[in-house]
Amino acid sequence: MAKVYLVGAGPGDPDLLTIKAARLIGQADVILYDRLVNPEIFALAKPGAELVYVGKEKGCAEEIQQRIFGELTLKALRGGVIVRLKGGDPMVFGRGGEEWAYLARLGVAVEVVPGISSAVAVPSLAAIPLTSRGVARSFAVVTGRDRDRFREDWNGFLGIDTLVILMGVADRQRIARALIDSGRPAHQPCAFIERGSTPRERVVVTTLGSIAEGAVEVESPAIWVCGDVVNLREDLLPQAPSPESHRSFTPSPRPAAIRMGSPYSEV
């Protein structure tokens, strides 16, 4: 029976892989990877490694998740070293816990290799500290996907100084309205960081009210930061590295892969 490693690929820049993640990618017989994994990382894979794209598609995430379980089962039965490669950290909104539980029920050995979470790293690289003395002493990382409990959920975050919202681009207007209704001021600064830590990074600074009015255009994937810490960017930006300086990895052609969908589609 194989061993499955749930590995975090970090926020996008290959230089931000952990040493252990890079080593396991180089040893893997099979790599099942998600949509937000930078393809340049596969330059580390050994010749002949099987690369299987298992990224989610909008509107069929649950169906694809079941197919991922099936792929994990088949690969585990074949044996070898299997890397389940996820963007950011596998246990932060990456369904790593669900996949671990599934494999545990099958009796498959699992090891987690934490990755640098985009929720923390991407704002930092964009010169937005999530906490700062006298400005913010708390932050919360929240998913924007729970559509059935918006009002209840956002009321519970009123006392949190900084909100980091993942997967909230598609519903940003609705979320912003709910945040204002829960008591956050419409003038509160916000920032969207698109494609963070990559050469294509773009930062959109705005206010919660503007988002609620539908006046802010953003592309997925993006990290949404809401809180007064966004204003600190103006003071830090002269010292902040450009997106290009985050990247020193040698590009490589995207290898042939067994695909279960189209990578980099919005979810």
Q: Which residues are catalytic?
A: 34, 56, 167
* Interatomic CA distance for residues 213 and 100, integer angstroms: 41
**In this structure, what token pair is assigned to residue 93?**
């909104």
* Interatomic CA distance for residues 176 and 23, integer angstroms: 41
CB count within 10 Å of CB 81 equals 18
Asked if 18 and 125 touch (Cβ cutoff 8 Å), the reply is no
Q: Give the number of C-alpha atoms closer than 13 A to the C-alpha of residue 37, restricted to the C-beta side.
A: 30
Asked if 94 and 145 touch (Cβ cutoff 8 Å), the reply is no
Asked if 208 and 186 touch (Cβ cutoff 8 Å), the reply is yes
* Interatomic CA distance for residues 29 and 82, integer angstroms: 6
Asked if 199 and 249 touch (Cβ cutoff 8 Å), the reply is no
Asked if 130 and 123 touch (Cβ cutoff 8 Å), the reply is yes
- Please name the residue that has the structure tokens 């207007």: 173
Q: Which residues contact 111 (CB under 8 A, 6 or more apart)?
A: 3, 4, 5, 6
Q: What is the dihedral of CA 118, 124, 128, 131, to 10 degrees?
A: 90
